[in-house]
Structure 1
Amino acid sequence: MKLLYSDMLPLKVKAGQEKFINAFHTGMAVADRVEIATGYVSKASLEELDLLAENLKVKTIVLTIGMYCIEGIPEGTYHTAMNINEKWQTACRGEIRMVRPFKYHGKLYAFYKGNKPFKAFVGSHNLGAIKLEASNIRQYEISAMTEVSEETQAIADFIRDLQQPKCSSNIADIKDMKLIREKNASLDGVQEVSQLPPTSVELFKRHIKGLSFELPIKVPAFFNRHIDDNKHFTKSNINVCYAAPRNARKSRDWYETQMTVGVNIRRMPGYPEKNHPFFIVTDDGYWFKAHTTSDNNKQLSAVGNELLLGRWLKGRLVAAGLVNPVNDTQKDTDRLGMITKEMLKAYGCDRLVLSKTDQKAIDEDNIELDVWVLAFESNEDKSE
């Protein structure tokens, strides 16, 4: 047995000691099959594992995760795991499984060569140790490595037991796992927005008068996201950032959106009048001032910040791990940053619902404004 260490002050790795991350990379470089059973993972560590397995040409990899079926899983981690699982299964390279009947908090790693485990780890390092982030960079862990055949086989056998249907299922086969919504960091530091506690959001929801307007989000399907004619959704709604730039030398900001509302909705009684500002409370607790603008009040936007609504809406998809912001939309020729129907389906929401409350609030100019609730919902939410 040999100890594997974290490496941080004041307990830096000493001469003759081995860091966990170095031993992990060495095992991955030699192995043709890797099997892991761990309590927790992170989005970054899943992506790192997939990258290492691909670059080091690991033929088979099976990851079993132990705590989330009962505790719930962060949405970004879930969607990343789903995508990687699909990738591995499509390539017949492996899978990601979830322990179902109990919480499994162990951390075991088995490295195979020619169907025989030649090295194994046991200890306290979750998978997040292979890609340190702010949340765990100061978390010290220690594990043990063995190359004794009886011990490596015992660890490998236990991991295989966890893979049995009585203990775990492929992540894609689990339909009832609780998703934990993650913080929308895209709104951090935005001056025009503030955040409310959940109790305040619920209070405003209870004051909805029954006057609501459903605003569909128009996006393309993934397979035709390259179509870019004037009639296509790339030049409207949430993907307007891919339309022709206003300045030929400067791309549109990826967060730019135009929530264009159909004339049939705008003509309904009670829809907000053009340039009459009102306050919005979002279903996830953000507060900002909005108005309807443009010809025939067809645009719904935040007051004073044309990117705010996009930061709220797209930022939720970013937090969920479904898309990454694009630095230069003109260079995104593959349209990887384009919001698609598949992304909205995976998130479980495909429309906005704007609902008026019987509440009012005073703005910075001492003017009393109506308060509306803006929710990101699905068609199923409406039917329930």
Structure 2
Amino acid sequence: MRILYSNIPPLRIKEGQETFIDGFRTASQEADKLDIAVGYVSKGSLLELDQLVHEMKIQYVRLNMGMYMIEGISESTYHTAVDVNKRWQEEGIGEIRLVRPFKYHGKLYVFYRADQPFCAFIGSHNLGALKLEAVNRRQYEISAETRDLEEVQEIADFVNSLSSPVCSRNLADIDSHSIKLIREVNTSLSGVELVHEVPDKSVELYQKHRVGNIFKLPLKVPSKEDIEYDQLHGTKTAKFTKSNINVCYAAPRSARKNRDWYETQLTVSTAVRQQEGYPEKNHPFFVVTDDGYWFKAHTTSDGNKQFSAVGDELIMGRWLKGRLAAAGLVTPVNDTGKDTKYRGMITREMLDAYGADSLVFSKTDQKAIDEDGTELPVWTLSFISVKDNESSPEEEKDK
């Protein structure tokens, strides 16, 4: 048996000792198959494992995640696991499974060569130990490595049992609606001067005070196939870049500066604008979002067709696209002009994965005082799926 340490002061490793990460790399270099069963993972560790598997030319990898079916999983970790699992299956090199009937909290790593297990780790290191980040950099864990073939085989047999259909299933075979997704905090609005946070109870209160029509604004986005077609044929999805959420990919406003990735241009259809109670042009109002943000908005432009925040054109994008980024579905782009493959473009698949494809806003019977003493109406603003068929305020009152 060999101990695998963390390396955190004041308990730095000593001469002759080895860290878990180094031990994992050493064993992986000797292996052609990995079988892992842990309680928790992280987005960073999933991506690190994926990279190591390709770097070490591992022929097959199987990962069991043990705690999430019952406890729930953060949305960024879930979406990353879905993507990695899909990639492994398409490449024929592995899968990610989810333990279903109970919470599995063990941490086991089995290394195979020529279909025979030769090494195993057992201890307290979750997969997150592969990628040191702020949340685990000061978390000391310790494990043991064994190369005793009887012990290794016993651990391998247990992991095989855990991977049987009665205990776990491939992540792709589990309905996402049966998994509790824990929403990530959208930090894109942190420190923005014109935005304030409100508690959940206040959000719920304002939602109960909604009156009149509910206005729905579907988000116009391309599919991955649309983008791939453009890449293949040298065309451009102009209809998706000149309006709505992907306007940042439209032509720059000046020759020296490309558009900010957070820039959006929410264009409301004539049919929606003609509904009774739609906001009057250039008459500001407060909005309280479904995730607890508060800022001022208005409708502007020709025909009153634009819906935007007041004072900062990036606020709406930081609220909307920031949620998708927090969920791990897209990475903000520093320079949209250099993103020639549209990696930062919001797609239909991203919205489907998030479970929302429309903005929904509705007036309440509440008002609040602006900084200049003006009394302004308060509206609610939500990012939801039109498939939800949200009921009207009048229907809610009847319930």
Q: Which category of TM-score, normalised to the shorter sequence, fits these structures?
A: over 0.9
Shift of 1:271: 0.7
Equivalent in the alignment of 1:15: 15
Residue number among 329, 334, 341 corresponding to 1:327 in the alignment? 334
Instruction: Determine whether 1:174 maps to 2:182.
Output: no
Residue number among 351, 363, 367 corresponding to 2:374 in the alignment? 367
Count of residue correspondences: 383
Deviates more, 1:82-91 or 1:374-383: 374-383
Instruction: Determine whether 1:114 maps to 2:118.
Output: no
Equivalent in the alignment of 1:223: 225
Shift of 1:105: 0.2
Equivalent in the alignment of 2:397: none
Structure 1 counterpart SS, 2:389: helix
Query: How far apart are the structure 2 equivalents of 1:117 and 1:248?
Result: 60
Deviation track 1:171-213 (CA, whole Å, cap 9, x = no partner) reads 1111111111110111111111111111110000000113210
Query: How far apart are the structure 1 equivalents of 2:321 and 2:165?
Result: 37
Query: Which AA in structure 1 matches 2:174?
Result: I
Instruction: Determine whether 1:243 maps to 2:245.
Output: no
Residue number among 194, 208, 214 corresponding to 2:196 in the alignment? 194
Which consecutive unaligned segments of at least 5 residues does structure 2 have? Answer: 392-399
Equivalent in the alignment of 2:142: 142
Deviation track 1:132-174 (CA, whole Å, cap 9, x = no partner) reads 1111111110000111111111111111110000100111111
Matches within 5 A, 1:114-133: 114-133=114-133
Shift of 1:55: 1.5
Equivalent in the alignment of 2:261: 254
Structure 2 counterpart SS, 1:276: coil
Q: Identity over aligned residues, as a percent?
A: 63
Query: How far apart are the structure 1 equivalents of 2:156 and 2:212?
Result: 59
Shift of 1:122: 0.2
Q: Is the 8 A contact 2:215 2:361 kept in 1?
A: yes
Structure 2 counterpart SS, 1:57: coil
Equivalent in the alignment of 2:98: 98
Matches within 5 A, 1:22-37: 22-37=22-37
Query: How far apart are the structure 2 equivalents of 1:300 and 1:134?
Result: 38
Shift of 1:25: 1.2
Instruction: Determine whether 1:164 maps to 2:164.
Output: yes
Query: How far apart are the structure 1 equivalents of 2:283 and 2:223?
Result: 35
Shift of 1:383: 5.8
Structure 1 counterpart SS, 2:137: coil
Matches within 5 A, 1:55-74: 55-74=55-74
Deviation track 1:106-140 (CA, whole Å, cap 9, x = no partner) reads 00001111111111100000000000111111111
Q: TM-score, normalised by structure 2?
A: 0.94
Query: How far apart are the structure 2 equivalents of 1:9 and 1:152?
Result: 31
Q: CA RMSD in A?
A: 1.1
Query: Which AA in structure 2 matches 1:189?
Result: G
Equivalent in the alignment of 2:304: 297
Task: Kindly report structure 1 stretches of 4+ aligned residues shifted beyond 6 Å.
Answer: none
Instruction: Determine whether 1:309 maps to 2:311.
Output: no
Query: How far apart are the structure 1 equivalents of 2:213 and 2:377?
Result: 13
Query: How far apart are the structure 2 equivalents of 1:181 and 1:336?
Result: 23
Which consecutive unaligned segments of at least 5 residues does structure 1 have? Answer: none
Q: TM-score, normalised by structure 1?
A: 0.98
Query: How far apart are the structure 2 equivalents of 1:229 and 1:164?
Result: 45
Residue number among 285, 289, 299 corresponding to 1:282 in the alignment? 289
Query: How far apart are the structure 2 equivalents of 1:335 and 1:69?
Result: 34
Change beyond 3 A, Cα 1:81–1:229: closer
Query: How far apart are the structure 2 equivalents of 1:59 and 1:35?
Result: 11
Equivalent in the alignment of 2:394: none
Structure 2 counterpart SS, 1:310: helix
Query: Which AA in structure 2 matches 1:240?
Result: V
